[in-house]
Chain A
């Protein structure tokens, strides 16, 4: 019932517009108020009261020159483009008619906007003289003013249907004299889900109404209501010629700014050079921080944190506040100026929740840098109370690793416990706790962690089984650390993808390291490590010395030089040494992410079956990651499947598999994988994936 009647309302209203548009007709270039005036005897028709001249005509007919002039002045003030009708003098020259004095009083009250009193005087007069009728023009004028008031009040109170009803019942309101009414009607259409009707109103206005200020304001209103492409369509009505040409440049700029703003939060959307130039110009032409921030975020999210940093600095100088500070800290972090980022973010941490989040992330990143940094006590001791008061589990875990790496095992144990208290499912913290308790010979503590976690965490189970005992001076923590993906501000899924390769490289190192160390110990001299830093070239070395040098360089994390050393060992060495060296060379390439080189190297000498499996698994893992990085998801899954045939798939690679399915739109498979990961304790990353799947597959379920 309601729907039907409102549909009728709209139909009527649109017809009204059409009628009005026709009335104004081809002379639409002129301001409507200078349209030909109706003959004096005709009461203003519903379609023509552009400027209400009824009072003026009345005074003219009375020959009241003083009032005529006063009214002309008043109307001129209201409507600058208006010109008085030329036929006024004819009116006053007519035969003098005896005039009812109340009429003049009514018009005067009307002019002073005392509408209720006009109505009251009419009612009073009619109560003594039932046959008396007020002038038709006055009644129309009163109806119009009342309708405008009701429409305005209804609009101020968001009573949109009333707005549309009043407009429909009073089509004479819908003219260029009442631009504000037209704007409100357009808004009412939008608020009742009829934006195409809103666009019709704006189009009507821009086609017919002449005041350049109002025309520009119309587009500004449209910007708050219409989709941007529709606003852009309205720009075609810009009048470039005539006495008062339009200048809609500010609207174009705003549209460009919005496009850049949208792209600024989405690294997959690029803004055009023209749009970027517009924003650059806005930055130069104002002292506002707004456009600076837009461009700053754009640069930050499009691989240019250095430019982002500059712009955030400018925004800060322009009182850009919390958002500018947030971006500044994030840019510093992206530029790996983490210590500066921490110091800066610290000062802003209490300004807004976002600033606190950035601070916690940056502080966590600072603590978990690889290699572990030596931090000033001052810095650590200001991080501690913030992490505590915010109960931030990642921060607690990071403080745990930091303490562990600086041999403060008791402190480490406490931080890992706190992290677990704040996030009971945090496997890395449980692992840290296991290591710390082990180092402290805290058997009860160690057993408690193991009892709770051995079914959920393979590495904790391994610790308990003594498979990989942690060694003094070689804290596993350093190796594991990068697995703690530090959440980055805008998108939770980014870290998983971006960090995963690193995780895998280091994990594969974990897998092979014990063997490697045994090999080093068996073949190398203990002085090798000290000396290799100074050695320039392996050329001419004895094979076993070259092999030792290779491992030493690997230890020093100089894999490309290690490759040279291993090459020397392969060229000259015995089969045992060749095997060892080929293995080392493969590892070196793997560390540099050179997967195919690693595969070639592995083939240079026969390997033991155990090593063959290790190397193949690592190579296939790397290959999968490289494919994933390049967006070749089918190949990613093929490589992972091949790898899964020889070794069990670890969680981080399962995540990669899940994301590949996701990218291929195979949401069911992705969901299955993420659920599997979730069950093994990597709940957070898996949840990110599950959420993404859920979000992506919602439209299909509806």
Chain B
């Protein structure tokens, strides 16, 4: 308030922006993350279809649309889905691959990219924070569900590394860096740069329990604030990669397309899974994603132009899940049979189905 007093001549729009931030901050304060069980929420038939298509005997989750590479994100989803299907054997395999092949960084985070055609096969040893969070979260949930201390211990170590190396600070705020290196202020001219879809909201309270010395609570709330800020423009969609040099005015990061793309598609899924359905933005998105409008699509956040419509059932079910959660609309029959083709939409499909199975069985 001192700032307002000092500068009497603020532009009205800027003032409005500040007020909207203030209101969104208060709404972030009011939100909370609802815990999920995860375990036992996926049918064995659907899981089996996924497992046999994308997971090798050594526990490697294969991204068949990306040169059959593997990544920490895929391993994390694989672990979560194996837990959801109560498949201890597969969980153990996927973890074994993570443990022996990717958990090699000096800072305790996970190397994100593994390429069967590269030498060494860890072809990019950087971490990707969403992968780290998914894996730590899955380990934590499995450790509890199956009473397996090996998983809990590993989750604890990983959570501490995430808190130590990927929480950025800018002024008074604490946020999630997409990777331990290369995104912060000083690392690039428009830094810090973030990716809102890396906030796997449901994981934060769980990891906070394992590594309470880090500010998980502030970080997830900052995620909500940044989401609201980034969706306050005309198009109302966040770009996948955002510069938050000015937190009041996030903007698409340099060198990335200014698009609401494959990354950001997951944001509503993560919000739903965390029980954060009160956000007004989800209603706006549901409308945009409805069949009468443009549907799920990659959209330029500056112009609002659609670059690519996404029709795979793994994307369509995201829209159906929104309709179910907000209006109780049942999932259409066309989306009920799982036919896995590509790794990413198939993964989103099962992540959605698992959540629907736990929270909204009546929709499916």
Known A119-B93, A153-B120; further 15 A-B contacts with Cβ < 8 A: A114-B57, A115-B100, A116-B57, A119-B92, A120-B88, A120-B96, A126-B88, A146-B99, A153-B100, A153-B104, A156-B120, A156-B122, A159-B104, A162-B104, A162-B106
Would you give the 0/1 interface string for A106-119, flagging 1 where the beta carbon is closer than 8 Å to chain B?
00000000111101
CA distance A226 to B44 in the complex (A): 57
A124–B100 contact, CB under 8 A? no
> Which residues of B59-97 are within 8 A (CB) of A?
59, 88-93, 96-97
B89–A123 contact, CB under 8 A? yes
Would you give the 0/1 interface string for A144-165, flagging 1 where the beta carbon is closer than 8 Å to chain B?
0010011001101111111000
Question: With an 8 A cutoff between CB atoms, is B262 at the interface?
Answer: no
Q: How near does chain B come to A151, taking the closest CB pair, in angstroms? A: 9
Q: How near does chain A come to B233, taking the closest CB pair, in angstroms? A: 41
Question: With an 8 A cutoff between CB atoms, is B218 at the interface?
Answer: no
B99–A120 contact, CB under 8 A? no
Q: How near does chain A come to B90, taking the closest CB pair, in angstroms? A: 7
A120–B89 contact, CB under 8 A? yes
Give 9 nearest A-B pairs by CB, closest first.
Answer: A156-B120, A120-B89, A116-B96, A154-B104, A123-B92, A161-B106, A149-B100, A124-B89, A116-B93
Question: With an 8 A cutoff between CB atoms, is A229 at the interface?
Answer: no
CA distance A539 to B92 in the complex (A): 111
Most A CB within 10 A of own CB, among B58, B100, B104: B104
CA distance A117 to B94 in the complex (A): 10
Question: With an 8 A cutoff between CB atoms, is A127 at the interface?
Answer: yes
> Which residues of B79-133 are within 8 A (CB) of A?
88-93, 96-97, 99-101, 103-106, 111, 120-122, 125
Would you give the 0/1 interface string for B196-237, flagging 1 where the beta carbon is closer than 8 Å to chain A?
000000000000000000000000000000000000000000
Pick from A115, A127, A159, A160: contact of B96, CB under 8 Å: A115
A interface residues, how many (CB within 8 angstroms)? 24
Question: With an 8 A cutoff between CB atoms, is A121 at the interface?
Answer: yes
Q: Which residues of the other chain, A, contact B90 by a CB distance below 8 angstroms?
A: 120
A124–B120 contact, CB under 8 A? no
> Which residues of B23-59 are within 8 A (CB) of A?
57-59
Q: Which residues of the other chain, A, contact B125 by a CB distance below 8 angstroms?
A: 157-159
Q: How near does chain B come to A130, taking the closest CB pair, in angstroms? A: 8
Q: Which residue of B lies closest to A192 (CB)?
A: B106
Where the two chains meet, the residues of A that have a C-beta atom closer than 8 Å to any C-beta of B are 114-117, 119-124, 126-127, 146, 149-150, 153-154, 156-162
CA distance A69 to B158 in the complex (A): 44
CA distance A162 to B104 in the complex (A): 6
Interface residues on B, range: 20 to 34
Most B CB within 10 A of own CB, among A149, A157, A159: A157
**Cβ-Cβ contact count across A and B, 8 Å cutoff:** 72
Q: How near does chain A come to B128, taking the closest CB pair, in angstroms? A: 15
CA distance A115 to B88 in the complex (A): 15
- Assuming A114-B57, A119-B96, A159-B106, is B88 touching A153 (CB within 8 A)? no
Q: Which residues of the other chain, B, contact A123 by a CB distance below 8 angstroms?
A: 88-89, 91-92, 148
Q: List 5 A-B contacts (CB under 8 A).
A: A116-B92, A153-B121, A156-B122, A157-B104, A161-B106
B146–A153 contact, CB under 8 A? no
CA distance A120 to B88 in the complex (A): 7
A160–B106 contact, CB under 8 A? yes
Q: Which residues of the other chain, B, contact A150 by a CB distance below 8 angstroms?
A: 99-100, 103-104
Q: How near does chain A come to B126, taking the closest CB pair, in angstroms? A: 11
Q: Which residues of the other chain, A, contact B100 by a CB distance below 8 angstroms?
A: 115, 146, 149-150, 153
Q: How near does chain A come to B138, taking the closest CB pair, in angstroms? A: 14
A127–B103 contact, CB under 8 A? no
Pick from B88, B101, B105: contact of A149, CB under 8 Å: B101
Pick from B92, B101, B104: contact of A120, CB under 8 Å: B92
Q: Which residues of the other chain, B, contact A154 by a CB distance below 8 angstroms?
A: 104
Q: Which residues of the other chain, B, contact A161 by a CB distance below 8 angstroms?
A: 106
Q: Which residues of the other chain, A, contact B89 by a CB distance below 8 angstroms?
A: 120-121, 123-124
A153–B122 contact, CB under 8 A? yes
Q: Which residue of A lies closest to B120 (CB)?
A: A156
Q: Which residue of B lies closest to A2 (CB)?
A: B106
Q: Which residue of A lies closest to B119 (CB)?
A: A156
CA distance A403 to B121 in the complex (A): 63
Q: Which residues of the other chain, A, contact B96 by a CB distance below 8 angstroms?
A: 115-116, 119-120, 146
Q: Which residues of the other chain, B, contact A149 by a CB distance below 8 angstroms?
A: 100-101
Q: Which residues of the other chain, B, contact A146 by a CB distance below 8 angstroms?
A: 96, 99-100
B88–A127 contact, CB under 8 A? yes
Q: How near does chain B come to A123, taking the closest CB pair, in angstroms? A: 4
Q: How near does chain A come to B59, taking the closest CB pair, in angstroms? A: 4
Q: Which residues of the other chain, B, contact A153 by a CB distance below 8 angstroms?
A: 100-101, 104, 120-122
Q: Which residue of A lies closest to B147 (CB)?
A: A130
Q: Which residues of the other chain, B, contact A117 by a CB distance below 8 angstroms?
A: 57-58, 93
CA distance A262 to B91 in the complex (A): 57
CA distance A103 to B221 in the complex (A): 50
Q: Which residue of B lies closest to A109 (CB)?
A: B57
Q: How near does chain B come to A314, taking the closest CB pair, in angstroms? A: 37
- Assuming A116-B92, A120-B90, is B103 touching A157 (CB within 8 A)? no
Q: How near does chain A come to B57, taking the closest CB pair, in angstroms? A: 6
B146–A157 contact, CB under 8 A? no
CA distance A119 to B99 in the complex (A): 12
CA distance A374 to B120 in the complex (A): 61
Most B CB within 10 A of own CB, among A121, A127, A146: A127
CA distance A264 to B302 in the complex (A): 65
B97–A116 contact, CB under 8 A? yes
Q: How near does chain A come to B121, taking the closest CB pair, in angstroms? A: 8
Q: Which residues of the other chain, B, contact A126 by a CB distance below 8 angstroms?
A: 88
Pick from A115, A122, A124, A159: contact of B105, CB under 8 Å: A159
B93–A124 contact, CB under 8 A? no
Q: How near does chain B come to A206, taking the closest CB pair, in angstroms? A: 28
> Which residues of B174-200 are within 8 A (CB) of A?
none
CA distance A469 to B362 in the complex (A): 110
Q: Which residues of the other chain, A, contact B99 by a CB distance below 8 angstroms?
A: 146, 150
CA distance A160 to B106 in the complex (A): 7
